[in-house]
Amino acid sequence: MINSPTEEIKARLDIVEFIRSYVRLEKAGINFKAPCPFHTEKTPSFFVSPIRQTWHCFGGCGEGGDIFKFVMKIEGLDFPEALRLLAGRAGVVIARENPALRSERNRLYDVCEAAARIFERRLLLTAEPKEYLKSRAMSEETVRRFRIGWAPPSWNFILKSLAQKKFTPEDAEHAGLAIRSDKNDGSRYDRFRSRIMFPITDASGRVIGFGGRIFETGGAGDASERTEAKYINTPQTLIYDKSRALYGFDKAKQEIRAKNNVVVTEGYMDCVMSHQAGVTHTIAVSGTALTAQQLKILRRLCDTMICSFDADAAGESATRRSLALAAQFDFTRLIAAIPSGKDPADTVREDPSLWRDAVAGAKPVVAFYFEKAFREENPAAAEGKKKIAASLLPLIAELADEIEKAHWIGELSRRLAVPEEAIRGDMQRAAAAERDRLGGRGAAMSDAGGAKAPPAPLSRRELLEDRLIALLAADSDEIRALVIGEDIIFASEMNGRLFQVLVRGAHDSGTDIVAYMEDIRFKGEMVTSQIADARAEILLCIRELKELFKREQRRVIGAEIARQERAGDHEGAESSVKDLDRLSERKQLRTLAP
């Protein structure tokens, strides 16, 4: 019988589907696997069990738990916040009066959600911004889907509207919707005035902030005489972290995972119109370069990034910075070229198929910039050669694949008619300068999440012991009976205790072994799902463990013989030699201390 909100949420939500919204999972027998989202790795060690409804990393970080532990760790939430998020996803009603759930962050989520609804309704009641969006070819369905709204030219519209919903001016300020006045009277005024409002959401679709696009009500969107920035965004708050937020990510993440690539645009309007054109794996970064944290989030779901290329200098600079950092996360990087002077939103307004074709025909970053450099500069002139090399060498240096790198070095050498040695020398100097400018790979990866240093690698013997115990934990009593008479000396005390419990039925009530037993059974399911014959694998592990133990004993006895001979203990050395002979003949392992 379900008797708590926690149990009801677990009953309604499938952990595989939930984690899939954050991580690209692959089937692995009865389980699912992926590179761990909590530390950097290339070989997948993060497993999700649909039967147990749990997850565990068998790699560097060793983290694991249920759906609540996952969302708390990946979103940085405490338990009440995680409960509230999952309850909303599962459709479970939590009593709002419960004070444990009224954290400051939850209060800000409520403020932002209320503000989004207020802005949405105001847009429906205001003709000019509606007509402007229509003139940009934005459909009503798109307006509704992205919850686009309108902040009128008032100094206290949102403050008064939120007050009617029992939110204080302090709430509005903490949510980034109001600014404290310079006066000493504690008054505040609206941050967003006369702007089209784009709610920014987190991965779960909760509103965490806003981007406001400038709009002049008297000029049908003409803001040429205004001095404010074209876009202003919510400042850093308790729930809005601009280095992590990705506009449109909640709507794009499933298609990003399905297509294994993400389309990155510069502005909110570009992202919205890209979705309207059917390119629904699109996100936006608000005209800035991608951060390491954002790239880490995207890398969990895909390994290819398509950037839209903006012809203006600021746009190209942001694109180049994003591409350079993306190379450090092993993204395959492509560029979607669109007509000069147009952004994705303008292209979609002109003809949606032009944008779809640009994305479908996106070119590898080096190939794109090769064409651009040789089109804009004269490769026959010394100055032209210099500019072309300066533009292309940092891009070639970023390539992880040495064969691909060699190809482009050869191509550049051929087209500039200069020796490859000169190209390589300049490239090394350019790469060093670029690393200094970006702060290096180590800084980027540190910013990406502060992953722990990887633990020392396990020895061959320790790996075999872990595999044997995992197989014994997952398989039948009949299989375990095969090894009941084996005398195995374990390097790991924990594995020795587990062997006694699993094979010989020993009682061990230690809290450490009880917790570890669940993990080892999960690992056993993972291992058995990937092998054809568990019985043969168990016997192979035992045979190899015996041989490894013998080798260790030989080394111990050999060292003892050498010591005895140096000490002149010929009788002791002769006895040790006999021990060595007996060890070589022995079929069963001896209990000798290594």
pLDDT confidence of residue 345: 93
The confidence score (pLDDT) of residue 452 equals: 42
Taking 70 as the threshold, does the pLDDT of residue 359 lie above it? yes
In the numeric block, which tokens belong to residue 231? 């876009």
Percent residues over pLDDT 70 in the chain: 83
pLDDT of residue 166: 93
User: Within a domain: residue 206?
Assistant: yes
pLDDT of the residue at 457:
54
pLDDT of residue 448: 43
Residues 113 and 79 in one domain: no
pLDDT in tens, 274-318: 999 999 999 998 767 888 889 989 998 999 999 986 655 555 777
pLDDT of residue 67: 95
Same domain, 72 and 185: no
pLDDT: which is higher, 553 or 238: 238
Q: What is the CATH number of the domain that holds 168?
A: 3.90.980.10
Read off the pLDDT of residues 372-389 as tens digits, 9 standing for 90 and up.
Answer: 899 999 998 999 999 999
The answer to whether residues 94 and 121 belong to one domain is: no
Residue 25 resides in a domain = yes
**Which pLDDT value is given to residue 437?**
54
Tell me whether residue 250 is in a domain: no
**Residue 222 within any structural domain of the chain:** yes
- Angle at which helices 534-566 and 570-585 pack, to 10 degrees? 170
Residues 576 and 487 in one domain: yes
**One domain, residues 465 and 394:** no
Q: Is the same domain home to 521 and 391? A: no
Same domain for 477 and 551? Answer: yes
Domain-embedded: residue 247:
no
Q: Is residue 267 part of a domain?
A: no
Domain ranges, residue 170: 104-242
Model pLDDT for residues 133-156, shown as the tens digit of each residue? 999 999 999 999 999 999 999 999
| Boundary-marking domain end, from 50, 69, 101 | 101
The helix/strand count (H/E) of the chain reads as 26, 16
- Count Cβ atoms below 10 Å from residue 427 Cβ, excluding itself: 22
Residues 55 and 181 in one domain: no
> How do residues 105-135 score in pLDDT, each as one tens digit?
889 999 999 999 999 999 999 999 999 999 9
567 in a structural domain: yes
Radius of gyration of the chain (CA): 31
Please provide the average confidence, as pLDDT, over all residues in the chain: 83
Query: pTM of the full predicted structure?
Result: 0.71
Q: Is position 513 within any domain? A: yes
Q: What is residue 323's predicted lDDT score, i.e. its pLDDT? A: 87
Q: How confident is the model at residue 503 (pLDDT cuts 50, 70, 90)?
A: confident
Higher pLDDT: 414 or 94? It is: 414
Give the CA dihedral 143, 149, 153, 156, nearest 10 degrees.
170
Q: Above 80 in pLDDT, residue 528?
A: no
Better-predicted residue by pLDDT, 219 or 11: 11
d(CA 407, CA 390) in angstroms, rounded, equals: 18
151 vs 163: CA distance, rounded Å: 16
Dist. CA 177–CA 192, nearest whole Å: 7
* Domains contained in the chain, number: 4
Same-domain status, 24 and 137: no
Instruction: Tell me: pLDDT of 517 over 60.
Output: yes
Single residue among 218, 242, 266 that ends a domain in this structure: 242
Residue 97's pLDDT band, with cuts at 50, 70 and 90, is very low
Residue 511 confidence (pLDDT): 57
Are residues 77 and 118 both part of a single domain? no
> How many whole angstroms separate alpha carbon 106 and alpha carbon 104?
5
Q: What is the pLDDT of residues 417-431, one digit of tens each?
A: 888 888 888 887 766
Looking at residue 240, its pLDDT comes to: 93
Instruction: State how far the Cα of 177 lies from the Cα of 174, in Å rounded to an integer.
Output: 8
Output the domain CATH number for residue 39. 3.90.580.10
In the listed set 46, 72, 101, which residue is the last one of a domain according to the structure? 101
Q: What is the average per-residue pLDDT within 206-234?
A: 74
* pLDDT higher than 50, residue 592: no
180: helix, strand or coil: strand
Above 90 in pLDDT, residue 516? no
pLDDT at 99 over 70: no
pLDDT single digits (tens) 537-573: 888 888 888 888 888 788 888 888 888 888 888 788 7
Q: Which of 390, 392, 357 is nearest to 372 (CA)?
A: 392
As a whole number of angstroms, the distance between CA 522 and CA 10 comes to 19
Q: Please give the Cα distance from 20 to 74 (Å, whole number).
A: 13
Token look-up 């375990």 returns 480
Residues in contact with 440: Cβ distance below 8 Å, sequence separation at least 6, in sequence order: none
Q: Within this chain, do residues 59 and 178 fall inside the same structural domain, yes or no?
A: no
Dihedral of CA 295/146/362/285: which sign? negative
Q: Quick one: which H or E segment has residue 585?
A: helix 570-585
Residue 55 and residue 136 in one domain:
no
Cβ 540 vs Cβ 532: under 8 Å: no
Q: Cβ of 145: how many Cβ atoms within 10 Å?
A: 13
